Amino acid sequence: MDNALLAQLLGSALAVALLVGLSAWARIARPAPALDETAARKLLADEFPDHGVQAVWIAGDGAGVVARSADLALVLWRKGDGYVARSGPWRDVVSAGAVDGRVRLTALDGAPRLSLGDRAWPPAEIAA
Amino acid sequence: MKPALDPVQLAIPFFVVAIVLEILLARFGKARASYEPRDAATSLMMGLGSTIAGLVTGGAVFAASLWVWEHRLFTIPMTAIWAWVVLFFAEDLTYYWFHRLSHERRFWWASHVNHHSSTHYNLTTALRQTWTGGVAGTWLLWLPLSLLGFPPAMVAIQKGISLVYQFWIHTEAVKRMPAWFEAVFNTPSHHRVHHARNARYLDANYAGILIIWDRMFGTFIPEDDAEPCRYGIVRNLPNFNLFTNVFHEWIGIGKDLAGSRSPREVVGYLFGPPGWSPDGSRETSHTLKARWRARAQEHKPADNAP
């Protein structure tokens, strides 16, 4: 690797660091407040428009949602200032065990960890 | 081995200044833009990594172009203005088909998907470039230009000009350009649709510089202010990991191929549309759009309603 190329790569890496730092300083991410049921249902409607939602369970920190649609679990969790959506068999998703106030949904790719707070798991009100 | 004049390399300082400006204008409420620092870091690292990946495969690609040009049908002078005008249209048409193939066939989507994995649409998204394009072989699509007689350096320069043009359209800061411009050129509005994951906007607006190709080939969809674009891919990635971003679709192909039970399945998993599955249980753009049309039809008021 010649010196000019090395200098260019190092300069580029420095520019990347400065730009990321500037974007962090600017605080211009989208607002991502804790979800309430209305906001959760709107997000679910965007992500799963073909699935009727029977009931919604919201994580203790408002950063995750598990909803039931017949035999499917519709799950949302926060990533940065947005949400990731996945669905899986209801029975598999709610069989996850809670540890240290969190539940890890390993039945879904990405295996999200949702905070329980004072919420019960599995969500008794929608598990029946 | 690259041409002495590389528009992308020359434009890098402009890219940096433009990103700084976009961030500052958004910070002070003068322009619309949102940045999530980890998302921006992924985009910028993808750009840096693609430069390095290009060093690995670029020489072989340029050598192949040179070999084809040595067997050219015509000799086209690099100094003729008409040659640049013809190349502008020919390269842009090539780009349209490259881009369409990169969205509609999974093998090439695996390489291109990481340009679309950001859930943001800002100038750093433009730099979120593939690391595996050389391996995917889409560069082969440009070889006919060299076979026709366009010198490889000339083709490389025009490809660079197209990439530099496409930088500025990755922004929410520009709402609409003048109507005549929107009619002919690719614009921030047209390209926002291209990056959207709303079912109605999928597989649209493949243009590089000229939007006329989408209008001609039936893939143009205008941005509808009533339905704001939601950016990213149909199944957004669960983390910001750079390597997940680069390789997730290749890994997905590998897993599917390992579980294939017939040559038909192998071909389908490799060259079918993204989301293809033997039993149709997964979602493709086609099925997502069909369901969106059905929902839209369902909610449409009857024409003869009182």
ipTM above 0.90, yes or no: yes
State whether A43 and A3 are in the same domain: no
Q: Dump pLDDT digits (tens) for A36-54.
A: 999 999 999 999 999 999 9
To which residue do tokens 């890994």 refer?
A: B251
Predicted TM-score (pTM) of this structure: 0.94
Coil, strand or helix at B137: coil
* Domain range for A5: 1-30
State the alpha helices, DSSP H only, in B139-205: 143-148, 152-167, 179-184, 188-195
Nearest to B16 among A19, A20, A50 (CB): A19
Joined together, the tokens standing for residue A113 give 């960890």
Task: Tell me what the pLDDT averaged over chain A comes to.
Answer: 93
pLDDT tens over chain B, length 306 residues: 456 688 998 999 999 999 999 999 999 999 999 999 999 999 999 999 999 998 888 889 999 999 999 999 999 999 999 999 999 999 999 999 999 999 999 999 999 999 999 999 999 999 999 999 999 999 999 999 999 999 999 999 999 999 999 999 999 999 999 999 999 999 999 999 999 999 999 999 999 999 999 999 999 999 999 999 999 999 999 999 999 999 999 999 999 999 999 999 999 999 999 999 999 999 999 999 999 999 999 887 655 544
State whether A90 and A42 are in the same domain: yes
Taking CB atoms and an 8 Å limit, are B35 and A29 in contact across chains? yes
State whether A60 and A22 are in the same domain: no
Cβ of A120 under 8 Å from any chain B Cβ?
Answer: no
Nearest to A22 among B12, B20, B292 (CB): B20
State whether A8 and A57 are in the same domain: no
Taking CB atoms and an 8 Å limit, are A50 and B295 in contact across chains? yes
pLDDT for the residue B300: 77
Q: How far is A70 from chain B (nearest CA, A)?
A: 18
Taking CB atoms and an 8 Å limit, are A50 and B41 in contact across chains? no
> Which residue type, as a one-letter code, is found at position A8?
Q
Q: Under an 8 Å CB criterion, which residues of B touch A?
A: 12, 16, 19-20, 23-24, 26-27, 33-41, 44-45, 47-48, 51-52, 55, 119, 124, 199, 230, 232, 235-240, 291-292, 295
Q: Dump pLDDT digits (tens) for B283-304.
A: 999 999 999 999 999 887 655 5
Cβ of A70 under 8 Å from any chain B Cβ?
Answer: no
Nearest residue of A to residue B236, measured between CA atoms: A84
State whether A55 and A112 are in the same domain: yes
Number of domains in chain A: 2
State whether A43 and A69 are in the same domain: yes
State whether A65 and A23 are in the same domain: no
Q: How far is A125 from chain B (nearest CA, A)?
A: 27
Residue B170: closest CA among B139, B134, B129: B129
State whether A119 and A99 are in the same domain: yes
Nearest residue of A to residue B231, measured between CA atoms: A82
Distance from C-alpha of B191 to C-alpha of B227, rounded to nearest angstrom: 15
Distance from C-alpha of B230 to C-alpha of A32, rounded to nearest angstrom: 15
Distance from C-alpha of A65 to C-alpha of A41, rounded to nearest angstrom: 9
Task: Return the sign of the alpha-carbon dihedral for residues B171, B173, B175, B179.
Answer: negative
Distance from C-alpha of B256 to C-alpha of B271, rounded to nearest angstrom: 12
State whether A82 and A48 are in the same domain: yes
Distance from C-alpha of B115 to C-alpha of B76, rounded to nearest angstrom: 34
State whether A108 and A49 are in the same domain: yes
State whether A117 and A78 are in the same domain: yes
Q: Dump pLDDT digits (tens) for A14-23.
A: 999 999 999 9
Partners of A16 on chain B (C-beta within 8 Å) are: 41, 44-45, 47-48
State whether A59 and A88 are in the same domain: yes
Q: Name the helix (H) or strand (E) containing B193.
A: helix B188-195
Q: How far is B119 from chain A (nearest CA, A)?
A: 7
